[in-house]
A and B are shown apart, each in its own frame.
Chain A
Amino acid sequence: RKEVEQDPGPFNVPEGATVAFNCTYSNSASQSFFWYRQDCRKEPKLLMSVYSSGNEDGRFTAQLNRASQYISLLIRDSKLSDSATYLCVADNYGQNFVFGPGTRLSVLP
């Protein structure tokens, strides 16, 4: 079983749509979670950390469900510039970071 799994995608949505990505992690000891964004042929960049109570940053909302070992990312009012691959990340016993395979999003005009 992979340590971090994500929706396979790709997600093709029209501008202005709301889209949600799901992620599950297998290590119940994981404490820190993140969403990274990766543009085509670029390096991953931190989008947001994920906190237990859930957190919001503008159009982006991240939620964590420890009981189900599940993380989500919601993007409201999608923009063309949101087109990218979204990587879910969980820590590995507080030592390093495990990345999921990524979910590709294409926002269409």
Chain B
Amino acid sequence: EAGVAQSPRYKIIEKRQSVAFWCNPISGHATLYWYQQILGQGPKLLIQFQNNGVVDDSQLPKDRFSAERLKGVDSTLKIQPAKLEDSAVYLCASSLAAATFSGNTIYFGEGSWLTVV
């Protein structure tokens, strides 16, 4: 079974530039998450989609971050304009459903490493 696919793997941009990350979840997974992980910290949820609807975006810095999941499958996360503190790994993850139940777990992609200089 194919895992969560992400691209690009690595990106270096200057501050105030824009960047976009793409994610393709595991087939059949209705729930898709974008997490931000800063070096030395645990992953922090940015946004959660259930199919193509937003379930939770309470921690998404909406003045500069945006995300969409058209057609309920692939998703893109955009940052514009980028700041130095946005340097992090952006992890896309998916799970079968939003509600937690026995056996429901999250599977992560390899991440997109962003460096803002």
Q: Do chains A and B interact in one complex?
A: yes
Q: Which of B35, B42, B99 has the most CB of A within 10 A?
A: B42
Q: Which of B41, B99, B110 has the most CB of A within 10 A?
A: B99
Cβ proximity bits A65-109 to B, threshold 8 Å, 1 near / 0 not: 000000000000000000000010001001111111110000000
Contact A43/B48 with A96-B55, A99-B42 known, Cβ cut-off 8 Å: no
- Which chain A residue has the least Cβ–Cβ distance from B35? A99
Q: Which of A4, A42, A43, A91 has the most CB of B within 10 A?
A: A43
Q: Is the CB of B105 within 8 A of A46?
A: yes
Q: How many residues of A contact B (CB 8 A)?
A: 21
Q: Is the CB of A49 within 8 A of B45?
A: no
Contact A95/B98 with A44-B43, A87-B42, A102-B42 known, Cβ cut-off 8 Å: yes
B interface list, Cβ under 8 A from A? 33, 35, 40-45, 48, 55-56, 91, 98-111
